[in-house]
Amino acid sequence: FVLAGSGILGVVLFLGALLIPLFYRQSYRNDFYLGFYILFLVSFMVEHTLETALGVGIFSSFLLLCFLYVPNEYYLNKPVK
């Protein structure tokens, strides 16, 4: 737990968990999703957003909302029966 909480391994795990949803399904192309990430990354710089339950709840809620908002290419190209 010490290696994951501090040092290079902790930074790599944190950034991986934070940025995988951004690059999953090329979500960075959507302006709403990219704006959400920029807003929260700026918030991470000035306060401890993810250290409170309220911060985790708000971040998770908006992340899931944005994740559902980004259209999936599979469903867009699927013919309607």
pLDDT for res 5: 65
Q: Which tens digit of pLDDT belongs to each residue from 3-61?
A: 666 788 888 888 888 888 778 777 777 777 888 888 888 988 888 888 889 888 988 89
Residue 65 falls inside a structural domain: yes
25 within 8 A of 73, measured Cβ to Cβ: yes
User: Does residue 50 lie within any of the structural domains?
Assistant: yes
CA 60 to the chain's CA centroid: 8
By residue range, what is the domain housing residue 46?
2-72
Q: Quote the tokens at residue 57.
A: 């709840």
77 domain residue, yes or no: no
Q: How many CB atoms lie within 10 A of CB 35?
A: 11
Structural domain total, the chain: 1
pTM surpassing 0.85? no
Query: In this structure, is residue 56 part of a structural domain?
Result: yes
78: left (phi over 0), alpha (psi -120 to 50) or beta: beta
